[in-house]
Amino acid sequence: MKYSQKALALVALAAQTDAALRFGCSTVTIQRLDPVVEPGNSPSAHLHQVVGGNAFAPEMKGDIGQQGTCTSCVFSEDFSNYWTAVLFFKHENGTYKRVPIMANDALPAGIQGGMTIYYTQQDFSSNGKQFIRAFPPGFRMTVGSPTAGKDGMTKHKGLRFTCLDNKSTRFPEIDDFPKKPCKGGIMTEHHFPACWNGKDLDSPDHQSHMYDTQPTGFGAGAACPASHPVRMPQLAYETLWDTTQFNNMWPKDGSNPFVFSFGNQSGHAYGTHADYMFGWKGDSLQRAMNSSCMFNACENGRPLLSQSVAQMNACKAKEVVKENTDGWLKELPGKSVFA
Ligand SMILES: *[C@@H]1O[C@H](CO)[C@@H](O)[C@H](O)[C@H]1NC(C)=O
Ligand SMILES: *[C@@H]1O[C@H](CO)[C@@H](O)[C@H](O)[C@H]1NC(C)=O
Ligand SMILES: *[C@@H]1O[C@H](CO)[C@@H](O)[C@H](O)[C@H]1NC(C)=O
Ligand SMILES: *[C@@H]1O[C@H](CO)[C@@H](O)[C@H](O)[C@H]1NC(C)=O
């Protein structure tokens, strides 16, 4: 198997002692729904790509691990939902086209769209001799905000972008859209905070029950503060946007043509954000975090149950909001934050 460049470097430095999960999930739906930030709204304000369990719906309550019948993720006990805004290309002629999503080449071939999901410990190879507690049923959180300015990038060092030469490119990580066409597409990275206040499954802003101590991206998290003393897995998403069909349509004035679905047309990507709804069945995530497996060595019951790419791709959430999101569109789907 292929590890990411950074994982390889880390594994070379220290023998793996504590589990790290990295796995693919195909797209379970692309829809205007957001059960964390806008529960019950159908449609929600902007379009998302969602992966994970097929119980995804306008409103979600209780233990998501007990809901739905399938998941689009490799690990078949993981009915969690993971989502981000989607990317559009804005043509000089004023129309928009949704950027297709492709799978990371470190994952099994054939995964349709989706994201790469990571649950690491203090870093890739060690828990730093601390107990890493799995998220409890009903847990949810977000990172980033669609209305953030540049300060959003200072606050959240785990929200980054990579201009890809190919699907294996991992560096450099930058804090805005690339300023020129990228040969192999654009990767968006969303790292969540890992320190929990130990009490709340959610909070009014969906963020203050968590605290971030990561220096950057996949770096080792510093100690959790007394206000948020419980260390949880470091959750991260990577999404690969296949922008190559637009490389010959770059605007003549050199301005940035990419726009996230929430509609900020400043040419900056500072409003990048992601949502998480925990839904692993029973104690499966804790079992994995307690073990010492790495990446796909955690499959086939060692210790996690897994499924084939065909089974992942076959899992879809119900289409509640019916609207066209493909082809050249006159407007972005929904009312953007500017409406
Ligand atoms: C805008 O440009 C795209 C790409 O060339 C083209 O397919 C589309 O028809 C154009 N739309 C308008 C309204 O000119
Ligand atoms: C849009 O993005 C710009 C640049 O980051 C930022 O200054 C502005 O506040 C954003 N607008 C909204 C409404 O979020
Ligand atoms: C992919 O791009 C990286 C640089 O971003 C380079 O180091 C690597 O050799 C390339 N891999 C392939 C297979 O071309
Ligand atoms: C995980 O490890 C903790 C601490 O050693 C233990 O209390 C717990 O029972 C373990 N859980 C699982 C599911 O293995």
Start-to-end Cα distance in the chain: 47
> What residue segments make up the domains of the chain, in order of their start?
5-329
Which ligand does the CA of 330 lie closest to? 1
328 lines ligand 4 (CB under 6 A): no
In this prediction, residue 216 carries a pLDDT of 85
pLDDT tens for 116-168 read: 999 999 988 889 989 999 999 999 999 999 999 999 898 899 999 999 999 99
In this prediction, residue 15 carries a pLDDT of 55
In this prediction, residue 304 carries a pLDDT of 98
Report d(CA 258, CA 252) in Å as an integer: 14
pLDDT tens for 169-199 read: 999 999 999 999 999 999 999 999 999 999 9
- Confidence (pTM): 0.94
In this prediction, residue 189 carries a pLDDT of 97
Average pLDDT over residues 224-237: 98
CA-CA-CA-CA torsion for 76, 77, 81, 83, nearest 10 degrees?
Answer: -50
Distance 196 CA to ligand 4 centre (A): 18
Average pLDDT over residues 68-76: 98
User: In Å, how far from its chain's centre is CA 218?
Assistant: 14
Distance 143 CA to ligand 4 centre (A): 28
8 pLDDT above the threshold of 70? no
Nearest CA to ligand 2 atom 1: 264
339 pLDDT above the threshold of 60? no
What is the total residue count of the chain? Answer: 339
In this prediction, residue 16 carries a pLDDT of 60
112 lines ligand 4 (CB under 6 A): no
Give the position, in ligand 2's atom list, of the atom nearest the Cα of 147. Answer: 14
Query: pLDDT averaged over the chain?
Result: 93
Nearest CA to ligand 2 atom 8: 149
